[in-house]
């Protein structure tokens, strides 16, 4: 396999649906989660309180115009299928409106299952990495265990030590990532780095470890991010115009939705171009050339 070839096979399959199905959910993200008024939300609300835009049929009254209405935060959130699982499986299809006593436990369980489903999504992707075959057995075991935890009763789910489980899975995912990226020469280590607003135009970030990196408002236009590990990287308002992410590892749709790009941004086949991205970006004044080595300097920051 070349250093830029998609490191995937087609053998692995998710044990449970990992894509949101809002039509089968009781609007849990619109009730269970808190948000504060600001750039992402026009108004704030407390956890356990229904959003003012939630309709009686659990649909969103402004879904088609969330960004224009000041609710951009809703467009960059994904429960990875946890909403319908909690609604239809954990609580047997009985909503918090039909049975008010279900409300608090349902709202408490939902964020936990959401975290477990996010791990399921990463584990499922890691099982498609051919170079990580040496850890596939451990990945499958972790996937089965994570799915078992998410399938528990409300009481069992509330008892899950999520930070401990996430820590174990994270280290396993890192091992899989390292096996995939091992073939990239001079790959860069930027785990948890702070690149807020950094000028990384055209940077060679092939095979880079960008786990948990802060890339908010960073200029990544034209950057090569093939085989870069982007798990947990914050790409809010990052410029991905012309960037190549075709084989980026652990990139999610919500990361793309939070970033800026256009028709020249190259994406993995499994992800879609956000509808708010323009077809093309107007020509801009040339910027200063990238630093020697065409890559960013490492910086201390968060670890993930």
81 and 89 in contact (C-beta within 8 Å)?
A: no
Return the sign of the alpha-carbon dihedral for residues 74, 75, 80, 84. positive
CA terminus-to-terminus distance, the chain: 28
Average pLDDT over residues 157-161: 98
User: Is the Cβ–Cβ distance between 12 and 124 less than 8 Å?
Assistant: yes
**pLDDT tens digits, residue range 73-129?**
898 899 999 999 999 999 999 999 999 999 999 999 999 999 999 999 999 999 999
Give dist(CA 162, CA 165) in Å, integer: 5
pTM of the predicted model, to two decimals? 0.86
pLDDT higher than 70, residue 217: yes
Place of tokens 């920051």: 301
Under the banding of pLDDT at 50, 70 and 90, the label for residue 215 is very high
Mean pLDDT of 270-281: 87
CB neighbour list of residue 15: distance below 8 Å, 6 or more residues apart: 120, 143, 144, 147
Residue 288 has pLDDT above 80, yes or no: no
As a whole number, mean pLDDT of residues 61-79 equals: 91
The pLDDT score that the predictor gives to residue 127 is 97
What is the Cβ-side half-sphere exposure of residue 271, based on CA atoms within 13 angstroms? 20
Please report the pLDDT score of residue 22 as a whole number. Answer: 93
């Amino acid at each position: 396999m070349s250093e830029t070839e998609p490191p995937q096979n087609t053998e692995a399959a998710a044990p449970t649906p990992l894509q949101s199905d809002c039509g089968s959910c009781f609007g849990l993200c619109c009730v269970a989660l808190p948000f504060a008024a600001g750039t992402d939300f026009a108004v704030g609300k407390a956890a356990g309180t229904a959003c003012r835009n939630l309709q009686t049929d659990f649909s969103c009254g402004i879904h088609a115009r969330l960004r224009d209405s000041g609710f951009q935060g809703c467009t960059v959130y994904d429960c990875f299928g946890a909403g319908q699982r909690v609604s239809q499986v954990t609580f047997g299809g009985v909503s918090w409106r039909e049975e008010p006593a279900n409300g608090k436990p349902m709202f408490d369980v939902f964020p936990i299952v959401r975290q477990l489903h996010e791990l399921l999504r990463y584990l499922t992707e890691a099982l498609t990495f051919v170079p990580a075959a040496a850890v596939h057995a451990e990945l499958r075991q972790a996937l089965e265990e994570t799915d078992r935890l998410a399938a528990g009763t409300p009481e069992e789910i509330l008892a899950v030590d999520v930070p401990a489980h996430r820590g174990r899975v994270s280290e396993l995912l890192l091992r899989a990532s390292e096996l995939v990226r091992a073939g990239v020469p001079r790959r860069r280590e930027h785990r948890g780095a702070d690149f807020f607003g950094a000028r990384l135009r055209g940077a060679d970030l092939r095979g880079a470890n960008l786990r948990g990196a802060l890339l908010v408002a960073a200029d990544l236009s034209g950057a090569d991010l093939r085989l870069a590990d982007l798990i947990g990287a914050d790409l809010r308002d990052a410029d991905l115009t012309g960037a190549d992410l075709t084989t980026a590892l652990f990139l999610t749709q919500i990361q793309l939705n939070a970033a800026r790009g256009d028709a020249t941004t190259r994406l993995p086949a499994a992800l879609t171009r956000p509808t708010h991205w323009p077809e093309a970006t107007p020509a801009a004044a040339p910027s200063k050339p990238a630093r020697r080595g065409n890559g960013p300097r490492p910086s201390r920051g968060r670890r993930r």
